[in-house]
Chain A
């Protein structure tokens, strides 16, 4: 994507290459932020529909501009920094959360060759960045100098570290099948039709991945870090104005990212389900798949009650970890002894 933009200039030079990179980043980030705004809206609409309410319907047609109004309101509010807070870390924490949520998108291939950076270790990069996400939360919890925030941050840190392990094993299963850490190669390994998509052979680990992704993004039923019934709002409790908005945007960007990763790993990324639908551009297919993934996230939020903290930990360590370990061995055995191993490398 960067190369394509760079070639548009027709002249060579370091500075122009830098400019091409910036242009590519903007081409991903701006649509992403707009998508996040509408994602919040759809989340609220789906939630409302399940509970037979109307949801946001006042600002703009069908309430479509609600998120922008909310954003404007947060922008105009006063930034309050608690007197006992560690000011620098208090302000850096939401920025870290927001930045990390955005930079993972650098390796997501939107179409054939349409990724900002088509890394050979793309999937490890996503794992690495998502493992960094915990810092924004733990720093905010500590810097707020508040019991609620600190407890929420500790919970969240433990939760994210726990579920990353099973996500790692799920990724290993997919890697065995695809034979590459490169996200574009993983998508290409599922080319053809819907029958080649990995959610069919890997259905059990797809479920594990989906539930772990819920926990990783602190979504209900695993939203214990911000459980309002016991912790008010967890690590976000002392935040107001734009700092809060950054947390909020980062959270939804992460959810979209998890949906995108799910689409790439299990639903064939930019590929169409049937060959005769190939005329529709790839990024539209990816968009539809991300929307489907987000719909699942929203539905789970609407009808699953919140887990208790010890149950959450038990699920992560005593159920998902052994299960995902078993599936790594199981799929490795099938692929090795069944002779299905990819031979491209």
Chain B
């Protein structure tokens, strides 16, 4: 088997993804964990590019690396976590974690080795995927998403919107006694509203008019 340039690049990305995935859970410092996670996302995007799914690769970087992971990093940096304290409960929760891991492993193994598909399933599941090599995968995705799957696509968007509004409603606190800036009112304010010119005669006092808004 001859190793082409593409193969070498594939193994490079794959090895980076796996190694940084391992380091996410083994790194002692949580900020390092998040940084390894970002590297894992990034190399996964590289794998997508190698598969020809360049649109997905770019979305992965824009959405996960550029936005989600930034918020992760934000939260982890701001939190003051005592890690020696966190690790104390580790042995206590170990059996549960091992159990869940085993169940997942068995499920994966079932899917991979012991699952039999019916003869016609492939036909039913096959979407009208444009296989034509001349269509870029951005166009192919658009042609599928905005035609056959438009309702599912819109529903997914609505669910995300509801989740967003829900998060805002849950975390919003209506604090009283906060001085807020009303930029519209500030812009509309004229010099006449703000001050009066008063001629004061020498030796005489002046009675100030009531304060204006």
A interface residues (Cβ-Cβ under 8 A, vs B): 14, 17-18, 89, 119-121, 124-125, 127-129, 131-132, 134-135, 138-139, 142, 150, 154, 157, 161, 164, 181, 310, 314, 345
Contact = CB atoms under 8 A, between A and B. Distances in A.
B4 interface: yes
Contact of B70 (A119, A161, A314): A161
Nearest to B136: A120
Top 10 A-B pairs, shortest CB-CB distance: A131-B66, A124-B58, A128-B61, A120-B136, A14-B5, A128-B62, A121-B54, A128-B58, A121-B58, A142-B77
Nearest to A160: B70
11 contacts: A18-B5, A120-B54, A129-B61, A131-B65, A132-B65, A134-B66, A134-B70, A135-B70, A164-B66, A181-B138, A345-B139
Nearest to A143: B31
Interface residues of B, number: 25
B183 interface: yes
Interface in B69-109: 70, 73-74, 77
Contact of B35 (A89, A124, A134, A154): A89
Interface centre among A18, A120, A150, A310 (most CB of B within 10 A): A120
Nearest to B29: A86
B139 to A, nearest CB: 6
Interface of B: 4-5, 31-32, 35, 38, 54-55, 58-59, 61-62, 65-67, 70, 73-74, 77, 136-139, 181, 183
Given A135-B38, A138-B73, A164-B66, A121 B55 contact: yes
A132 B54 contact: no
B54 A139 contact: no
B61 A132 contact: yes
A67 B139 CA distance: 46
A157 B74 contact: yes
Contact of A132 (B66, B77, B138, B181): B66
Given A14-B4, A120-B138, A131 B62 contact: yes
Given A127-B62, A142-B31, A142-B77, 4 more contacts: A125-B58, A131-B66, A131-B67, A314-B183
Contacts of A161: 66-67, 70
Interface centre among B5, B55, B62, B139 (most CB of A within 10 A): B62
Contacts of B59: 124
A142 to B, nearest CB: 5
B183 A124 contact: no
B62 A124 contact: yes
B16 to A, nearest CB: 15
A132 B67 CA distance: 9
A134 B31 CA distance: 15
Contacts of A310: 181
B40 to A, nearest CB: 14
A172 B155 CA distance: 21
B44 to A, nearest CB: 13
Nearest to A131: B66
Contacts of B35: 89, 139
B58 A157 contact: no
A164 B65 CA distance: 13
A92 to B, nearest CB: 9
A17 B66 contact: no
Nearest to A134: B70
B156 to A, nearest CB: 18
A150 B74 CA distance: 11
A264 to B, nearest CB: 17
Nearest to B69: A135
B4 A138 contact: no
A157 B58 CA distance: 20
A215 to B, nearest CB: 15
Contacts of B61: 128-129, 131-132
Contacts of A119: 54
A95 to B, nearest CB: 14
A14 B67 CA distance: 37
A138 B73 CA distance: 9
A202 B177 CA distance: 43
Nearest to A157: B70
Contacts of B136: 120
Contacts of B4: 14
Contacts of A132: 61, 65-66
Nearest to A133: B66
A60 B5 CA distance: 46
A139 B136 CA distance: 36
Contacts of B70: 134-135, 138, 157, 161
Contacts of A18: 5
Interface centre among B32, B35, B55 (most CB of A within 10 A): B35
Contacts of B67: 131, 161, 164
A123 to B, nearest CB: 9
